[in-house]
Structure 1
């Protein structure tokens, strides 16, 4: 291989106030990885960082300062095949706080894939600005996702069955939040399959983000359970890229989550792994999975959350 880029595992000698940003930018360029791919690998390691944050770090507009960001930085060094601590050593002192401080880096604990302000804008437009913080009147008892991967490795569809238990009388809807790994492909088509119908919906095509109301066919009373089923289908082929992973972020505990991933026989992965990272834990728990005779794998989480749970493949 020829060219002016430094070999993987090393950092260029850079000088000036933006040593960290220049070194990170150079290492990313040398790795050949897109920010999407880097973000997916960080998430699989249990140290999620938004693409916006990665972009700000390499541009020098912001820098990792919080404990979770510094933990992610150590994983980033491994992903970019850099010596341990080499990026950390280039970080300048933390920036001052208060009225003269720079804006804080994009949050990674509130949401994994996008900035909280982006989501709040959609929720406000939908008429539910307090949905993230208000006390939930529905408990998600069980969830079953079936993700179909196309022959080109993209995400063909996701079929979901969800079971809720009402904490108060009169519960009649659930708010769906969906984020695509490939915003350029456009939003998927949301179809209600049983026991619900589509209410208000808002889409941010630039961020690949969708929020929608799934209205129950009838209100339910306190203590009652309710089952709904819906599908998100993408146009294709080619299907939107999914960074070889499917996952859920659970902001609250769930009793049972079942995830199935079905692969097209034309594109069978060499390896599949389950990953689970509880909020507050430094590293995810990983577990190898075996394909069944129908080219599928599954993983089950019992009494899980808050945290991330999913399947990745190579």
Structure 2
């Protein structure tokens, strides 16, 4: 990973403080945050970035130790690897280990899914993600509207990243107009692939609405690094993302990024009276659209 705004700010702040990495590690340890010197070195050089909840907690303590404003370093971190459903697309890279994903897709009867042209357009998508009091992701409910571009479309392929090999697979529950088909889990890479079979077969031009929920085990619930987002590899007409919190965060913001080298655009969000925030994207993509919070 190349040098980033976060690594440069961290390196500059450490140099200005006059503290060695050994002393920084000791300060973190005194605050109950064990971090290796190697990790601190990688963070300031840009070789790696903090993503896990424990690492983000360490950054918060670093801000205090280095005399920075709360959130001054955290706000410079780009989103971690996406958690949640993603759709493979022909000739484009995916957010998962490719060989592991190919093996998983073959098990659910879709060995050529990465190369095939999509025959279902995503017209509308609504994600509602529930964040538990411990900061982990309890469940996500998705409502999706498709439009067929060819006759005989009867299923949707779902690929889900558990958030690492340590996190167990979520339970898939079909709520409307679909049912689970074949489901396969790769525990080594923390991936699940599943078929969602439609209640009827679609012909060209027809639309279909499905709804499903992915529920994680807990508490404690799998950590989500204070963010949830989707990466769209093709344009989506409408995307609505809701995040509901059992414990209200200090502040939230939506963010978008068109490509890996593009600047991230942010917009502050306000919690509503139900303890939730939402953001809407219209005619969006390709790119990343998400919500983060502190």
Asked if Structure 1 and Structure 2 have the same fold, meaning a TM-score greater than 0.5 normalized by the shorter chain, the answer is yes
Counterpart Cα distance in 2 of 1:42 and 1:133 = 37
Distance apart, 1:120 and its partner CA:
1.5
Aligned in 2, Cα 1:33/1:281: closer, same or farther, shift over 3 Å? Answer: closer
How many pairs align? 237
Look up the match of 2:41.
27
How far is 1:49 from its partner?
A: 6.7
| Unaligned runs of at least 5 residues, structure 2 | 1-18, 26-36, 57-73, 83-91
2:21–2:41 CA contact under 8 A, matched in 1: no
Distance 1:292 1:118, change over 3 A: same
Residue aligning to 1:15: none
Cα 1:216–1:42, aligned 2, differ >3 Å: closer, same or farther?
farther
Residue 64 of structure 2 is matched in structure 1 by: none
Q: 2:52 — aligned with what? A: 36
Q: 1:43 to 1:195 in 2, by over 3 A?
A: farther
1:307 aligns to 2:287 (yes or no)? yes
Give the equivalent residue in structure 2 for 1:187: 169
2:185 is matched with 203
SS at the partner of 1:5?
helix
Counterpart Cα distance in 1 of 2:128 and 2:118? 25
Cα deviation, residue 236, structure 1: 1.1
Could you tell me whether the CA contact under 8 Å between 1:44 and 1:312 is conserved in 2?
no
Find the partner of 1:110 among 93, 96, 117: 93
Are residues 1:217 and 2:199 paired? yes
- 1:44 and 1:275 in contact (8 A); partners too: no
Q: Is the 8 A contact 1:181 1:243 kept in 2?
A: no
Q: Which runs of 4+ in 1 moved over 4 A?
A: 23-26, 29-35, 41-44
Matches for 1:116-127 after TM superposition, within 5 Å: 116-127=98-109
Aligned residue among 235, 257, 262 for 2:217: 235
1:279 aligns with 2:234: no
Q: Answer with 117-126 or 145-154: which moved more.
A: 117-126
In structure 1, stretches of 5+ residues that fail to align are 9-22, 51-108
Structure 1 residues 160 and 49, CA, compared in 2 at 3 Å: closer, same or farther?
Answer: closer
- For 1:180 and 1:271, locate their aligned partners in 2 and report how far apart those are by CA, in whole Å: 25
1:45 aligns with 2:45: no
Residues 1:295 and 2:275 are matched in the alignment: yes
Which one of 198, 219, 237 corresponds to residue 255 of structure 1? 237
Label 1:147 to 1:43 Cα distance change in 2 as closer, same or farther (>3 A): farther
Change (3 A) 1:42 1:127: farther
Deviation (angstroms), 1:254? 0.6
1:136-147 alignment to 2 at 5 Å? 136-147=118-129
The answer on 1:135 being equivalent to 2:151 is no
TM-score after normalising by structure 2 = 0.72
For 1:122-164, what per-residue CA distance to the aligned partner results, in whole angstroms no more than 9, with x for missing partners?
1122221221221111001000000001111110110000000
- Any conservation in 2 of the 1:178–1:211 contact (CA below 8 Å)? yes
TM-score (ref. length: structure 1): 0.68
